[in-house]
Amino acid sequence: MTEPSPSNPNPAGGVPSAVAVPKKRGLSLIWLVPIIAILVGGALAVRTVMERGPEIQLTFKTAEGIEPGKTKVKFKNVDVGVVESVGLAEDLETIKVGIRMSKSVSPLLVEDTRFWVERPRIQGTNVSGLSTLLSGAYIGMDIGKSKKHQKEFKGLDNAPLVTFSEPGRVFRLRSSQLGSIDAGTGIYYRRVLVGQVVRYEMDKEGRGIDFEICVKAPYDRFVNAETRFWEASGFDVELNASGFRVGSQSLNAILSGGIAFETRAKARDGAPAEPNTRFRLFAQKAEAMAMDDDEATSLRLFFDESVRGLVVGAPVDFRGIEVGRVSNIAGQIDPKTGNVKMVVDVDIFPNRLRRINIKKADLNVKEGLDALVSGGLRGQLRTGNLLSGQLFVALEFFKKTPKAAMDWKNDPPILPTLPGSMARLEEQAAEIMQSTAELMHKLKSLPLDELSKDVQAVMKSLDKTLASVDRQMSDDSQLQEDLRDGLREVAKAAAELRTLLEYQSRYPESLLKGKSKEE
């Protein structure tokens, strides 16, 4: 059998023989597609992880309006995060909201950054969140100024009225009562809205209300250490010698209250007040712009008359100028007589007495008051308003008054007083009533029955006399006829006398010679 040679693999021209081909080892092209897909997916995953922002936790009192995957977090109306989860907190009283924030705002998540749920709200003069009526609620964000980063925050119940980015200054006000002021109440300067009340709270002792207000730039430069704030809610009513005046800051102030401020002309060039400076909130403009007072001197006054109409805070007046205020009203039994005296404590400002040019007030308080009292200064209750019956304490000099002196042994010192004009009128009225009562008593003691019979008899006799006179005075009576005849005779005699006088005036010698025969 002939074997085929390598040069002739098919010598006989039959079926060719299989030739073994060496197998090549390497990566098949078919694997390139999944490998590329894995690489691309991995790159995208790494990119996603690297670009993924931080996760933060917020706590709210309620989850109203918050939906996972839908509710956005916005800063200046730009989406910077989205809610991922909502659930109850461990205390079961608050809601925990998980939020994935954008990486771009990661440096802004500091401890004083604030979050709140933006909804439609009307707060004072501020109206916000109206756009959420169509777009739905979202979580608002206000960037803080702290350097310390944080990932857990407590959400606010309401949107802040003033953001950290808004230019202006925050000041503190103190008042004894809230009045009609609320968060969002406007702050006015020369009737221009320049800020608003941020918040308020009662102090721990319950003695007053602390307000936090913000005055926007550039108006904040008008607030300095001498600036005065007062409540400008409703109408300002003033009655003076010029007439009746009614004014207000604005319609908003009438409806929802307001606070106004002003600086005296002499202090307007002062340096602007530092942020968080504290000021007193006065009830009225007149009180706010009143003159500065030195330390008050407390005095005590005793009155025998009623103090109805006198209230704490009533003015102490010297000829129309307020020099103090009533600080306390009470009653006290006199141990010697057992009578009740009304005690009125007042605070007097010596500096105000000096301003009205009382020379003796230039002395120290003790010497000055001693000199004033020895000169006739007394305290007296007077009526300030006849319609309301309000009283005030008047200090006045009386020339004809018993001598008296200050009682410095008592604390507070006692200032001598005189009865008020109304008290004197009441005494006179009481005396008149007593005299009237005595007269009525005497009249009752008279025998009125017998007197009435005598009076009736006299009246009958008088009637007869008047009837007789009436008859005598009638036109056809004899008396009337005699009177007329007499009057005619008198007229005739008067005519003859006139003729005689005329003759004597023409012939005066007739008084000596008589009437001639020719005449």
For 28-56, what is each residue's pLDDT tens digit?
667 777 888 888 887 777 776 666 788 99
Sheet holding 340-348, edge to edge: 297-303, 340-348, 321-333, 315-318, 390-397, 377-385
Domain parsing of the chain, residue ranges: 51-154, 168-288, 298-418
pLDDT band for position 165 (cuts 50, 70, 90): confident
Give percent of the chain above pLDDT 90: 21
> In angstroms, rounded to a whole number, what is the distance separating the alpha carbons of residues 275 and 172?
9
**Nearest CA to 373 among 391, 351, 395?**
395
Give percent of the chain above pLDDT 70: 76
What pTM value is reported for the model?
0.53
Q: Highest-confidence range of 100-104, 464-468, 490-494, by mean pLDDT?
A: 100-104
Residue type at 96 in one-letter notation: K
Q: What's the pLDDT score for residue 361?
A: 45
Q: What's the pLDDT score for residue 422?
A: 61
> In angstroms, rounded to a whole number, what is the distance separating the alpha carbons of residues 205 and 77?
42
| Count of C-beta atoms within a 10 Å radius of residue 289 | 13
Q: pLDDT tens, 343-352? A: 999 998 877 7
Q: What's the pLDDT score for residue 28?
A: 64
CA within 13 Å, CB half, 81: 30
Which residues neighbour 264 within 8 Å (Cβ) at sequence distance 6 or greater? 226, 228, 289
Q: pLDDT tens, 285-303? A: 878 877 666 678 899 999 9
**Nearest CA to 313 among 278, 287, 335?**
287
Q: What's the pLDDT score for residue 157?
A: 85
Identify whether the C-beta of residue 346 lies closer than 8 Å to the C-beta of residue 329. no
Q: The dihedral of CA 143, 147, 150, 156: what is its sign? A: negative
> In angstroms, rounded to a whole number, what is the distance separating the alpha carbons of residues 337 and 261?
53
DSSP reduced 3-state for 228: strand
Longest pairwise C-alpha distance within the chain = 241
Virtual CA dihedral for 446, 449, 454, 455, nearest 10 degrees? 80
Mean pLDDT for the chain overall: 80
pLDDT band for position 337 (cuts 50, 70, 90): confident
Q: What's the pLDDT score for residue 5?
A: 53
